[in-house]
Chains A and B, each alone.
Chain A
């Protein structure tokens, strides 16, 4: 077994606690001499001087990756959790389906070879060795857009692509009613629908990448291979309001529902889960300064930052977007586990928290977050205002365990230009949602009651989802609901650096031209006593708020 893997396995709970405790230095309080901070701002970065006393939470440094991921994957398949080794479950003439996470993670997309390619090469070789040839590979897109041919090729690698695309490697289609089957209902009345091919397989293998603790577990199969009729049971305002937070599965209504449904799946289907954890090395090489505390920048870091900023400022919008899209992250795999879904997920979760968790004392009045150019739903696309809302209010607000970083009734400042820009082929229903539905109300319950079913069944959106590369018609509603816990908790939301105040107003936010102005607006009620926290991204961090 790889040395790093062995070392991590040997870490006892007490040591882990100590390790996390040592991360208190990742919470920095600024003074008047502190350097300006880098803040994600769409396709750009702000370099802003934050008020003295501001608490900045930095992500932990990347965990050491396993030196040989292929060996670690093979080891996991041979030593699974609560299950027989994969080879022992194989026999000729059996029907096997392999489901794979889609392009929505990791973010940014990882350098090649993608972990999914590594896992597929090993698993497919093992299947071939045991005479299994009825194998289908389904990309578990659920209601996400279909991945393009090039995206699939990049993800699974040339060898697998040539052998399986398009007949035996394809995107899941949640609107192909003939290819869906209902497995049962949970004790909460939730209908569990699943891909028929997966449900009728002798073995369903799920290949996962855990970017954040929200991913993986029962959410992989029970959501990734399920249609609207299943997803509506947990992707709704009531369930999401009961999630505190999405990054803490033990306190998430969303995860409780997905777990109930997943258990029904596992009772009916032989599921073999493979989960991987990756470190948070989002930016490497010339961009590794993005991970650093700005007070510790060297001259070389400042020179790189200046050049980076100059480049982003002086190229056209299209070129800037293209440059960022083409960037691939040098993530490293920090762990891999295989076997029974829940046992595997517990192990993966522990490793993911080990990477991201930072202890933080107490909440603050104001939380500042910067929304970057990318989120799970705009890979190779445009970050539209609904997605900014989902990223800022949904994901970044939820980067906590125990309590939110900002107090109830506090203010969230979201840094993003917030332009009225959409990708008409990827997000067609978002456009109507934003311009028609949000013009009437931004109350999630009303939106759900008045519009959701119409959008979910809209034939044009269904067509664009099935045959084009559009997100499902109902997807903007889910993105809006995603912000529901944040909306319920916060008193004010201010878009800093907002270029189009009408966009902010439509979402019920206030707009400020600059971050300074936004902070002044937020502190206007509380005066100088207001406490401010800035969640430093990239990469990702999860605050364990005491």
Chain B
């Protein structure tokens, strides 16, 4: 494997939903489905999502990978162009307003300290790409839909970024960049991110759920809580293109 030169001394890997922003994957999905078509189609989509909620809940309880597969199946039949357009819109109208102000400071501080910011998230790439561009993050790992004739097939392309796959992606990225994982920092909010956090030298539990909080306390990891204040647009230091 070739090792690329890196201007950063290490990396800071950030989970997105619940960690940097106070929205989750279901919120993105609902927004997309409610805006993807004309009124009739929107109602049908939202109804389809409502019908899937028990399955989504069951998946959420057991396996984050299964949750992703279940949710992304709903996008079947939507054109790639439309999804990326909605991704931009969702990012601008919703995600940026839900970004924790304190997370902005933390990311800026980490960047100053020589840590390359990288998003590692189960959110769809058509949303994460738009966000990454706005916050000046060059590298991200997000879930990608498979497309056939420019229409979403409803299946996810491998690797599905969830659980252990997040950790594997970070390991491969670090190896590619010649970084030591023991020097890297990881930020996540969910117990399902445990493999991801344990792979890194400096795991941090952010707004942790009950199980991650217990684990973080047990393993003596730093625990941080972002206040619910949102980042006002002018405060964002990397607004615009990276």
Contact = CB atoms under 8 A, between A and B. Distances in A.
Interface of A: 422, 424-425, 428, 431-432, 454, 457-464, 467-468, 470
B109 A462 contact: yes
B184 to A, nearest CB: 12
B224 interface: yes
14 contacts: A422-B220, A424-B221, A431-B222, A454-B113, A457-B112, A457-B113, A458-B113, A459-B110, A459-B113, A461-B222, A463-B109, A464-B222, A464-B223, A467-B227
**Which of A460, A462, A470 has the most chain B CB atoms inside 10 A of its CB?**
A460
A467 B222 contact: no
A460 B225 contact: no
A424 B225 contact: no
A432 B200 CA distance: 14
Contacts of B202: 432, 460
B188 interface: no
Contact of B224 (A431, A432, A460): A460
B105 interface: yes
Contacts of B216: 424
A459 B106 contact: yes
B220 A468 contact: no
Interface in B185-242: 185, 202, 204, 216-217, 220-227
Contact of B217 (A424, A457, A462): A424
Nearest to A457: B113
Chain B interface SS verdict (over half): mixed
B22 to A, nearest CB: 15
Contact of B185 (A431, A460, A470): A460
A457 B105 CA distance: 13
Nearest to B221: A424
B204 A460 contact: yes
Given A458-B113, A459-B106, A464 B224 contact: yes
A468 B225 contact: yes
A424 B223 contact: yes
A463 B225 CA distance: 9
A170 to B, nearest CB: 15
A286 B201 CA distance: 49
- A-B pairs, top 5 by smallest CB distance, nearest first, are A459-B109, A428-B222, A424-B220, A431-B220, A459-B110
Contacts of A425: 223
> Which of B108, B204, B227 has its CB near the most chain A CB atoms (within 10 A)?
B204
A460 B222 contact: yes
Contacts of B221: 424
A470 B227 CA distance: 16
Interface string B94-120: 000000001001101110110000000
Contacts of B185: 460
Given A424-B216, A460-B185, A467 B113 contact: no
Contacts of A463: 102, 105-106, 109, 224
Given A428-B223, A459-B110, A463-B105, 9 more contacts: A457-B109, A458-B113, A459-B113, A460-B202, A460-B204, A461-B222, A467-B226, A467-B227, A470-B222
B220 A467 contact: no
Nearest to A459: B109
B222 A424 contact: yes
B205 to A, nearest CB: 9
B238 to A, nearest CB: 15
A460 B226 CA distance: 11
Contacts of B220: 422, 424, 431
A471 B102 CA distance: 18
Task: Tell me which of A432, A454, A459 has the highest count of chain B C-beta atoms within 10 A of its own C-beta.
Answer: A459
B109 A467 contact: no
B97 to A, nearest CB: 20
Q: Which of B112, B220, B224, B225 has the most CB of A within 10 A?
A: B220
Nearest to A430: B220
Contacts of A464: 222-224
Nearest to A464: B224
A428 B220 CA distance: 8
A426 to B, nearest CB: 11
Contacts of A432: 202
A467 B202 CA distance: 19
Nearest to B185: A460
A424 B222 CA distance: 6
Contacts of A459: 105-106, 108-110, 112-113
Contacts of A454: 113
